[in-house]
Structure formats: C-alpha cells, structure tokens
Chain A
Amino acid sequence: MSDTLYYLISALLSLGVLYGIRLMSQVRTAALGNRVSALCMLAAIVITLYRTQLGDSLVYIIIGLLAGTLISIFMTIKVRMIQMPQMVGLLNGLGGLSSALAALLTLALKRPLGGFEVTTSGLALAVGALTFSGSMVAALKLHGKLSQKPVVYPGHRWLSAFAALVMLALIVLLPLTALSRALALGLLTVAAGLLFGWLFAIRVGGADMPITISLLNSTSGVAAAIAGMALGDILLVAVGGIVGSSGLLLTQIMCRAMNRSLPQVLFGGAAQPQARPEASAAPPAVETAPEVAQAEAPAQEQAVPQDAGPSQEDLPAWLTQAQSVIIIPGYGMAVSQAQEKVKQLLDRLQSAGKKVRFAIHPVAGRMPGHMNVLLAEVDIDYELLCEMDDINPDFAGTDLAIIIGANDVVNPAANTAQGTPIYGMPILDAAQAGRLIICNFDTQPGYAGVDNPLYQPQAKVMLLLGDAKDSLDTMLASL
C-alpha cells in the first residue's frame, strides 16, 4: 500500500472518529457515535494488519489480539457502574503501557532511526511510563486497594522534581548518544517516568481524583500521538491528539468546578490537607471503606440532635406539601449504593404529581459525569438530570431540595467564607430552596474541612443523619 493511499485512508478514518465524537454531543445519537468510532478503529486495525509484513511475528500478534479480546469481553460484562472510575483509570494506564512499549521497541528495533524518531520515542517512553504508573496508583486508590488519603513522602516535592529532571535530561541525551546505547537510556527514561507517575498519583486524595483521572486520560492520548510521530504513523498522531485534547478539556472543566489550578493539583495542595476542597462533598466516612460506613450507620441514625430544627415527624408533611423538588446527589449516595432508593423516591414523588429534577455538580463523584451514569443505570430519565448553571436560578422557586450525600458542593460558605479552600468554588444554590432535607452521614465538615452553615439548626432544614440508604427508607416510609 502506497504512503499516499495510507494518508488518504488515515484522513478518512480520522474524520470518521471526529464525526463519531460529534454524534456524542447529543444523548440520542451518542451510542451511534460510539459505534461509528469503533467501526473506524476496526477498519484501521484491519488495514494495519494488511499493510504490515507480519512474518513470524504473526503468531504473537494473533495471540495478543485474541487474549486481549477475551479479557475485554469479560471486563465489559463484569464491571459495575460504581466501578467506572477505576475502570477508566486502568484503561488509561494500559494505553500508556502500550505506547511506552511501542516506543521502546522502536528504539530497539527500527532502523534507520533519525534524530526526530529518537527524540519522539524518548518523549513517548516518558509520557507512557508516567501515565502507566500514575493510572495504576489512581485505579488502586479508587478500588480501595491503596489508601484514598493523600500519601506524602519525606521530600516528596524534591523527589518529583528530581524524577522530572532525570526524565528531561534523558530525553535530551537520547538523540545525542549512539543508537547502540539508546535502549539502555530508554529503559532509564521508563524508570524515571514510572517514578514520577507514582509520586504524582500517590499524593492525590479522593476528591482530586476527577482531575487526576482526566489528566491521565489526556496523557494516554498524548503518549499514543508521540509514539505515532516516532513511527511515522499519521493515524496514531491524529487520534492520539484528539484523545489528548479531550482529556485536557475535561481537566480544565474539573479544575474550574473545584476552584483549583492544575499546578496546585500536580505539585502543591496535598502537603496541606485542609487546602483541598472535597468537591464530591461526601462525609468523611467516605474516606473509610464503604463497608465500615454502612456497618456504623445504624448506630448513628437515631442520633439526631434534640435542637436540630424540624424533627422527622414533619417529614410526611414536608414531602406532601412540596410541589417542586430538586434532588442533589453526591458521592455519599454512590458509597451507600442508594441509587435504587433514589429512583423509588422519584417514582413516588412523580406519581403524586410533583415536579422533580436532579441537580448535578460537575465534580460530584470520583470522575466527570459519574453521578449521571449511576442515575441512568437505575433508569432515571436523563432529561431530569440538570447541569449546575441551568438549574441554579430555579432553586429560589423550588419548594424542597433533597441533598443525598453531598456537602461541599452545596456549602454556602463557598460564597462568603473568604480565605477558606472552597471560597470561590461554584456551588449548587440549594440554600435558596424553600425547605431542605439533608441526608448525610454526620454533620462533620466535608472534605474541604469547612463547616457547612446549613447544618446549623434552622426551621427550613431537616437533617437525616446516617447511611443514605436508611435515610431514603425513612423518607419512603413517610410518603
């Protein structure tokens, strides 16, 4: 196959992928868009197999394709929606691994190899390696196999800076050394990249995960694109670039929604835990294992303070009197797996003729869009799921806001408490609603460590403390 023909095919397939992404801008056509992209990918793989002289590598390639497909089918069927953040984390890492290996084999085997190829190989090695180790740490944290708390080693910043400098030095050195030594230097680059990725991800706490996952999503694409430059494969460059920009865009959105800058997440904040806003606003219990949170819940449930404003006896009246309701889910809902109960509550309220909608904060959960997927899984109409900017003006005219496992994302202190970590962070204006029911594990400040004035006893706020599932049961029983 001539290069010109391959360029033409690459252009067509890239446009196909872009068209698939365009279809994803609407929910109705999104599934089709995904399939269009998948088809383009399949075509790309078939063309690559056709135009490559496979020789005796054929058996390895076939085994790889089959084994990978089998593992994928198993994973696709098994993964639960609550596990999507660690799934995406794992896939980010595997993408980085594959690109790093492609770059390593380029250095080792491809001849002739010019300066451009060597330099881009070195870059792809570094980015791929740090994506791999960073993603594995993030996925293990999300899966509960590593502590969700930020881990800071002595001299953490210096270690990170050292690893970054070594990486850069090796990338610069690579094209200046003889090709015979390129592989050894390449392996050192991998080691430095792995160390940097590890150091970067290990200091990230649960609440910064949406940013971390988005960023690693981006670097996995960038690694593929740079590996594509090393190999001179235009399709890798184009599609990798698309993935890179997507991840970067999501990272920007997450940073804005948390009022954090990217350098803060990368190098700063974790040294001072109080300076880290909990966007998903789960109660501190979230940082322990979910099983523990649930086991402790019954004991705490009845512990509503005597002076905590309205009592649970008012619950039936509150729920029946409200004509318009906005439900605000947070990570606490995900931890207690209360989505089914939320759906039941929605059905009951709707069958009573009430207008019910959901307000979704951009960083609720552990990855972008996490809440939407959990609610869609229990068959909640996506048209009821509203973005923050769209629904915020409506809180003032709403009778009742029900907050389920969210804290900092509704904390009015973000508007007023200058000097606190969440000051300036955009929040859901739940406090404007006529009445509020807050289902939370306890009244401790959220992850950001800033007291939530909504927890002060007041006539319009009812606190239902304990596991979200139990609180929802209480609500359902009173309807």
Chain B
Amino acid sequence: MSNQIILVLVFIAATLLGYKLIHAVPSLLHTPLMSGMNALSGITLLGIIAVTALPGSTLARLAGLVGIIAAVINVVSGFGVTDRMLRMFRGGHEHTGEDT
C-alpha cells in the first residue's frame, strides 16, 4: 500500500515541479518543447520492455515488439528533431556555418 501512495505522490510532485519549470520556457521555444516532451513520453519504453520480458505467448511478445518500436521512435526522433530545431535558433553573433 505504501508503495502505491509513494507512486501517486511522485506523480503529483513531478507534475507540480514540471509545471513550474516549464512555465519559464519562452513561447519562442514551444515547438521544440513539445517535441522534447514527445521524447520524454517515450519513457514508457522502460515499461514496455519490462512487460515484454514477462513469460508470455508469442503474440504477447509481438505486441511488446510493436510497443518497443513505437516508444523508441518517440525517444530517438523526439530528441533528434528537438536538437535539429534548437540548433537553428541563433541570435546576434552566433551565426556560424553550422547547419542541419
């Protein structure tokens, strides 16, 4: 029981802390913020790996495979596109030759 209370408390704490920090992100960066959040929601990869490893039928394994692919796309493309976008934002004297 105590474990479950901890989980719920962690959820509330993370939500409040996240809300406070994300509030400071300027609207200039809201698109990369969202794609970054896409990457973070790929954290579900941890869960889908854990359940795919449980003893189960081949069908269950295949469902796990689909879930893993979906989550990995979230993580890798999410961070990848966010990085691509953030490198485009250049100000004043930062105009180097770097491009995507």
A interface, CB within 8 angstroms of B: 14, 17-18, 21-22, 24-25, 27-28, 30-31, 34-35, 37-38, 41, 44-45, 48-49, 52-55, 57, 60-61, 63-65, 67-69, 71-73, 75-76, 79, 81, 84, 87-88, 91-92, 94-95, 97-99, 101-102, 104-106, 108-110, 116, 213-214, 217, 220-221, 223-225, 227-229, 231-250, 253, 360, 362, 367-370, 372-373, 376-377, 379, 381-383, 385, 387
Contacts and interface: CB of A to CB of B under 8 A. Distances in A.
A71 B82 CA distance: 16
B91 A79 contact: no
Given A21-B25, A68-B75, A224-B41, 11 more contacts: A27-B91, A48-B49, A91-B77, A94-B73, A95-B74, A102-B48, A105-B54, A105-B56, A237-B14, A241-B14, A242-B18
Question: What secondary structure prevails in chain A residues at the interface with B?
Answer: helix
A437 B47 CA distance: 54
Contact of A98 (B37, B60, B74): B74
B34 A41 contact: no
Contacts of A38: 39, 79, 83
Contacts of A35: 79, 83
Nearest to A7: B6
Given A72-B80, A370-B31, A31 B53 contact: no
A88 B38 contact: yes
Contacts of A225: 11, 14
A382 B21 contact: no
Interface string B61-89: 11111111111111111111111111111
Contacts of B46: 44-45, 48, 233, 235-236
Contacts of A69: 72, 76
Nearest to A381: B91
Given A98-B71, A237-B7, A34 B52 contact: no
Interface residues of B, number: 85
A243 B40 contact: yes
A149 B39 CA distance: 29
Contacts of A53: 53
B27 A387 contact: yes
B41 A109 contact: no
Given A27-B91, A68-B76, A382-B89, A14 B14 contact: yes
A373 B31 contact: yes
- Which of B49, B51, B76, B84 has most chain A Cβ within 10 Å? B51
Residue of B34, B61, B77, B88 ringed by the most chain A CB atoms within 10 A: B34
A383 B92 contact: yes
A57 B51 CA distance: 10
Contact of B60 (A109, A240, A250, A379): A109
A373 B98 CA distance: 17
Contacts of A362: 27
Contacts of A72: 72-73, 75-77, 80
Contacts of B18: 18, 21, 241-246
Given A105-B63, A232-B7, A237-B14, A376 B42 contact: no
Nearest to B47: A102
Interface string B17-47: 1110111111111111111111111111111
A225 B10 CA distance: 10
A327 to B, nearest CB: 15
A52 B50 CA distance: 6
A233 B88 CA distance: 36
Given A249-B19, A372-B28, A377-B88, A231 B51 contact: yes
Nearest to A101: B67
A367 B31 contact: yes
A369 B64 CA distance: 34
A101 B63 CA distance: 7
Given A24-B29, A57-B52, A387-B26, A233 B47 contact: yes
20 contacts: A21-B36, A24-B25, A25-B24, A27-B89, A41-B42, A48-B49, A57-B52, A73-B80, A75-B73, A91-B77, A92-B41, A97-B67, A236-B46, A241-B10, A243-B18, A245-B19, A246-B34, A249-B22, A253-B30, A383-B92
